[in-house]
Amino acid sequence: MLDLTKNIIRPVRDLISGFVNFLYDYSIYCQNSSSIFRKSEKITYEIIKTYHALEKSMTFSPHDKYAGGGVALKLYKLLCLKNSKYGLGVMDKIGGNVLLKYLVLSENKESDFIRSQDLDWLLYDDEKGGIKKIKRDYIQQGMFEKPEDFFLTRFSIRDFLPQHVPKDLLLEAISLAIKTPSSCNRQPWLVHLVSDEHTKNKILDIQFGNRGFGHKIPNILVISMNSSAYTTACERYQYWIDGGMFCMSLIYALHAKGLGTCCLNWSQEYKNDLKIKKIIEVDSSNRVIMIIAVGYIADEVSVCRSDRKSIDDIVKVVER
C-alpha cells in the first residue's frame, strides 16, 4: 500500500494539482496580460514599452533619421487614447517627452503626420525621457577594487537581532534596486514592507520555508509583479525574469547597507496565493514572486556553507 501511494497516487495527485494551478495562472493571464482588456495601467505599460523602443533607436550610432516612424505613430496613438480615456500619468508624460524629442531628430512620413497635429497637450521636459550622453569614466566609478569583498560576503542569514529595521533604511535600499533592468523598462515591481507582527506572522504561516527561524525575522519584504505589464503569450513568464533580477538587486542593495537577508521563495498553489494577496491587499494582476526576510545581523551567526559548483560545471563555451 505504501508503494502504491508513493509511486502512483502521489504522482497522479501532483499532475491534477498542476493542471488546476495552470488554470489559475491562465485565468490571471486572460484577465490581465491579454491585450483584449485595455485598462488604464495596461495602456501605460504599452506606452512605456513603445517609447522605450524609440529611446533605444535614438542611442544607435549613427542615428537613422528615417527609422522608427511606425513606432512613433503607435506611441502617438497610445498617448491620445490614454489622454482621452483616463488622462496622462507620470510615465505617460515621459512617453510624450520621448515622442517630442524623437520628432526633432526624425524625417519620415509618420513624423510629418504627427507634427501636423496639435501637440500642445504634450508638455516638454528636457530632463525626462529620451537619451543622454555619459562618459565611460562615470560608469566605471561603480567598479569595486575587490569585488570579492562584496559578493562573497553575502550569506543567507537566519539569526537576526530583534529590533526592526527603520523604514527609511529599507527605502534607501529599494531606491538602489529600482535601477534594475526590466523588459522594455516597464518596472512592474511592487515592494510591500511588513513589520507588523500580526501581519508578518500570517504571511510566514503560509510560506513554509521559515520553520525554525521565522520567529526571529523582524521585517519581511513581499515582492510582487504586475502582470498587466506584459501583453503577449511569449511574455507569459517575463515577470518571473524581471522580478528575479529585481529581487537580486534588492538583496545586494540591502547587503550594501549592512543588513542580513534570507530569500523565502514564493512558489505556491493558488489557495495560498489568494491568501497572501488578501493579506497584503493587492488585486489579481499582481503576482507575488518572493518574500525577503530582512534584519540586523547578530554579532556571530551560523550560516550554511552552501558549496558552489565549479566554474567548469556551469560554463559551456559555444565554439560555433
Retrieve residue 40's grid coordinates: 488604464
| Backbone dihedral angles phi then psi of residue 235, each to the nearest 5 degrees | -100, 15
pLDDT at residue 96 tops 80: yes
* 10-28 vs 270-280: helix crossing angle, rounded to 10: 40
Average pLDDT (253-260) is: 98
**Residue 35 pLDDT:** 66
Angle, CA of 292, 297 and 301, to the nearest 5°: 105
For 268: left if phi > 0, alpha if psi spans -120 to 50, otherwise beta; the answer is: beta
5 versus 172: which is more confidently predicted? 172
| Beta pairing partners, 286 | 226
Tens-place pLDDT, residues 128-155: 999 999 999 999 999 999 999 999 999 9
Average pLDDT, the chain: 93
**Cα→Cα distances 111→93, 108, 118, 132, 201, Å:** 18, 5, 13, 22, 56
Pick the CATH number of 138-295 from 2.70.210.12, 3.20.20.70, 3.40.109.10, 3.40.640.10: 3.40.109.10
What the block records as the C-alpha cell of 286 is 499582481
Q: Determine the pLDDT at residue 320.
A: 85
Reference 49, options 71, 30, 31; nearest CA is 71
Domain ranges of the chain: 40-115, 138-295
**Would you say residue 36 has pLDDT above 70?**
no
Q: Count the neighbouring beta carbons within 10 Å of the beta carbon of residue 109.
A: 10
Kindly report the pTM of this predicted structure.
0.92
pLDDT over 70 (residue 4): no
Question: Which residues, 6+ apart, have CB-to-CB distance to 5 below 8 Å?
Answer: none
Q: State in Å, rounded, how far the first CA of the chain is from the last one.
A: 53
